[in-house]
Structure 1
Amino acid sequence: MSKSVQVHAPATVANLVCGFDVLGMALHRPDDVMTLTLKEEPGITIEHTDIYQLPTEPEKNVAGAALLAMLEELDHPPGFHLVTDKRIKPGSGLGSSAASSAGAVVAANELLGKPFSNEDLVRFAMNGEKVASGVKHADNIAPAIYGGITLIRSIFPLDIVQLSGPPLFVTVVHPQIEVRTADARQILRKEVQLKSAIKQWGNIAGLVAGLLKQDYALIGRSLEDVIIEPVRSILIPGFDDVKSQSREAGALGGGISGSGPSIFMLSEKESTANAVEQLMQDVYTKLGIDFKTYVTSISYEGVRVSPVTVHQP
């Protein structure tokens, strides 16, 4: 059994516009790189090689909290040393906390000989999301661990459905501003009108059906959010311009990635995705806001275990 393992934990897009807290997908890039090493002495130690100065106390760190939840279910828990190179910026809306939480438990499960199922790993990793946002949710965690697109039918009990879909290209712009998940949740309405809920249910069902039927037109028609996006989009400068211009350029549709500020657009063709990237860059250049853009696709592998064993120094 290896004593060290390296994993690449993917960025994820939660909600997929209409599926608040129930839909998510994993991306090929960006990703975090994490190295986990078994220790003879108990306890968890955490080291960061990035610039974000995240907590190193396990109970205050999302990856540490996920590992602590896993260790509670082991009769003879080992110790771990975790080294994280975060390449998914915290507060980006691209599942940064989920990548850390999911990457840590997948790596630990690998080192322990895979005693836990993917569903178990999601359950452990949700403890990291609670540290990050105050709420246990799985719409980023599930696709990070399972790969592809996932539907969270239920949290308690946990019920995760993997969805197939047609080839899709994903264009992401990350304006270099921060929207905290906890803050983005706080501004949401606590009650929803029935007519809005009915429209939202139809869009969620239409999106799932469109993915399964590989019906690009149905996917595009269903990428509409009448509940969350109208409230959260006010936190993101340039959102309306990016969305309208992307559709005009041929994108199927898209919206806020997670709680933002990143915006994602889905396209049937790579050439369209590249055109969408250019217009995203133009919008934020004119606004004078720094940004990063990605043209990528859906990762059906999720957290990827590196074939190279990294030894503890």
Structure 2
Amino acid sequence: MKLNNIKSAIAFAPATSANFAVGYDLLGFAIDGVGDIVELIKRDDTELVIKQISGATGADKLPFDSDKNVATAVIKKFLIDKNIKTGFDVYIQKGITLGSGMGGSAASSVAALVAMNAFFEKPYSYDDLIDYAIYGESLISGSFHGDNAVPCMFGGLVLLQSSKPCKKIDLPIVDCNVVIVCPDLSIETKKARELLKDPYDLSTIVEHSACLAATISALYTQDIELLGQSLKDVLIEPRRSKLITGFYDVQKAAYDSGAIACGISGSGPTIFALVKKQDDANVVAKTMQDKFKEFNLKSDSWISAMSDKGAYLLEKK
């Protein structure tokens, strides 16, 4: 693949919410309005040098080692696999808090790949890039799953038929407001996954499968009432909720103030809620944050729709 004459490129990749309560490692959706930005400036050698990491809480804890930072690790693997000789100075602006459960590692991986793609005369398709984004996410989670990377790159609400290789099904986006509340906690994905190692009772698996199937049906029929009834996490939430101080109190507050569904985003500690009306969404967000305050936890909140827009190039020159 030939390189063009571009000297620099900047790309944005959105935050995501994985699992969607009933689809562990299977479902995820893009969040509008927050994400990571990666800028690449072409070098005269083949080195990948991280010049700056800035932005959201935890950005100062991310590694500058190009083998350990997902943004440069995915670029390096791609260039080696394709036998492409080039190098970049890398600037990472984190819009996603470290360990928040909003797909930060996926967003950095995806933004880096999209920016890199701008330097080729014939850019690769997102289908060509996605396996590398999932690889980047796996470096952090310890597991090869694409429920953050895929909606981050392509946008929308997706069902992963397979993560390796990536096979996705685009699901209908529900016409609801999404409330995202991120408390001032940090949870390592690997530790959150370790809580799931013990086996489950068959009855629990059957109940969970019914909720997943009903959720998919509700999305296709746009049955909001059924969706609210179906988005019940009987599999993951009971084990991971212990990592989130006040989780069940915050969840109850969300339901009491108008949410039709509420659950853990990814590995947490971020919590998502679905709300029918914009006015109610503001109330739900405030109520959830107020409840976290009762546990002496500050939090950030966002209100958006599920975004059908994935990663994109901001600038090239």
Task: Find the aligned partners of 1:88 and 1:196 in 2 and give their Cα distance.
Answer: 33
Out of 267, 270, 273, which is 1:259 matched to? 267
Out of 157, 160, 164, which is 2:168 matched to? 160
- Equivalence for 1:120: 128
Out of 4, 7, 20, which is 1:3 matched to? 7
- Equivalence for 2:77: 69
- Equivalence for 2:198: 190
Out of 237, 240, 255, which is 1:247 matched to? 255
What is the Cα deviation at residue 189 of structure 1? Answer: 3.5
- Equivalence for 2:51: 47
- Equivalence for 2:68: 60
- Equivalence for 1:142: 150
Q: How many residues align?
A: 309
**Secondary structure in 1 matching 2:63:** coil
Q: State yes or no: 1:175 paired with 2:187.
A: no
- Mean CA deviation greater in 8-17 or 103-112: 103-112
What is the Cα deviation at residue 8 of structure 1? Answer: 1.7
Question: What is the CA deviation profile of residues 169-226 of structure 1, one whole-angstrom value per residue up to 9, with x for unaligned ones?
Answer: 1111111111111110111143222211111112112212212221111211111111
- Equivalence for 1:22: 26
- Equivalence for 1:202: 210
Question: What is the CA deviation profile of residues 221-258 of structure 1, one whole-angstrom value per residue up to 9, with x for unaligned ones?
Answer: 11111111000001111211121121222212020110
Out of 102, 111, 114, which is 1:106 matched to? 114
- Equivalence for 1:151: 159
**Secondary structure in 2 matching 1:59:** coil
Task: Find the aligned partners of 1:59 and 1:9 in 2 and give their Cα distance.
Answer: 21
> Does structure 2 conserve the Cα–Cα contact (< 8 Å) formed by 1:65 and 1:127?
no
**Aligned amino acid, residue 36 of structure 1:** L
- Say if 1:212 and 1:30 are closer, same or farther in 2 by CA, change over 3 A: same
Out of 278, 284, 295, which is 2:303 matched to? 295
Structure 1 regions of 5+ residues with no counterpart? Answer: none
TM-score when scaled to structure 1? 0.94
Q: State yes or no: 1:274 paired with 2:274.
A: no
% identical equivalent positions: 36
Task: Find the aligned partners of 1:58 and 1:49 in 2 and give their Cα distance.
Answer: 12
TM-score when scaled to structure 2? 0.92
- Say if 1:113 and 1:212 are closer, same or farther in 2 by CA, change over 3 A: farther
- Equivalence for 1:36: 40
Task: Find the aligned partners of 1:33 and 1:155 in 2 and give their Cα distance.
Answer: 24
Question: What is the CA deviation profile of residues 66-110 of structure 1, one whole-angstrom value per residue up to 9, with x for unaligned ones?
Answer: 112211232333222221111211101111111101111111123
Task: Find the aligned partners of 2:312 and 2:288 in 1 and give their Cα distance.
Answer: 29
> Does structure 1 conserve the Cα–Cα contact (< 8 Å) formed by 2:250 and 2:292?
no
- Equivalence for 1:305: 313
- Mean CA deviation greater in 226-235 or 68-77: 68-77
Cα RMSD after superposing both structures: 1.6
**Which portions of structure 1, spanning 4 or more consecutive aligned residues, are displaced by more than 3 angstroms?**
none
> Does structure 1 conserve the Cα–Cα contact (< 8 Å) formed by 2:29 and 2:156?
yes
What is the Cα deviation at residue 158 of structure 1? Answer: 2.1
- Mean CA deviation greater in 8-17 or 70-79: 70-79
**Aligned amino acid, residue 28 of structure 1:** D
Task: Find the aligned partners of 1:25 and 1:108 in 2 and give their Cα distance.
Answer: 24
